[in-house]
Amino acid sequence: MAHVSHSRSDITSHPDAPEMQERYARMLGGRDVALVDGPVFLLGLYCAVSPWILHFTTSQPSLVAHNLIVGIAIGLLALGFSRAPERMYGLSWAMCAMGVWMIISPWIVGSGPDAGVIWNNIIIGALALVLGMVCAGTAARSAPKS
């Protein structure tokens, strides 16, 4: 019976080693933006359910739908950050825009919101803005230089 196992433990002499190393580096290249996908997802989840947590479903029905939709959008961005971070670099700034929108939305979408609703959306917006800037900064720092 022929002995087919290799006696060496490293694969540096394998003809496909450089290609495998390049593929591995390319796959892990965008993971630094994905470090914030957990907090972004939790922020989106909280934004979506905040009308029921703070009980403003009857006083601000337009803000209920608004927070639900924006929360789902933030959650989908988080899933994108974790699923395909190299493609999400450009959408990091959309997270910042959603943060600014959440800060001003109680006065635009709502009708006479109370302090709890205003502070809720300001905190959600500020966190979205900060996390978006972290994503954008990380993406800009790790983008290939030309």
What is the average pLDDT across 84-103?
Answer: 86
pTM recorded for the entire structure: 0.74
CA distance 47 to 60: 15
pLDDT of residue 146: 55
pLDDT of residue 8: 58
CA–centroid distance for 59 within its chain: 30
CA–centroid distance for 62 within its chain: 25
pLDDT of residue 145: 59
CA distance 85 to 37: 9
pLDDT of residue 16: 76
* Residues 116-143: tens digit of each pLDDT: 999 999 999 999 999 999 888 876 776 5
Q: Which residues lie closer than 8 Å to 29 by C-beta, 6 or more apart?
A: 86, 142
Question: SS3 string of 58-70?
Answer: CCCHHHHHHHHHH
pLDDT of residue 137: 81
Per-residue pLDDT at 7 exceeds 80: no
DSSP class of residue 146 equals -
pLDDT of residue 103: 96
Burial bucket for residue 40 (CB in 10 Å: 0-12, 13-18, 19+): buried
CA distance 22 to 143: 16
Q: Within 13 Å, how many C-alpha atoms sit on residue 108's CB side?
A: 9
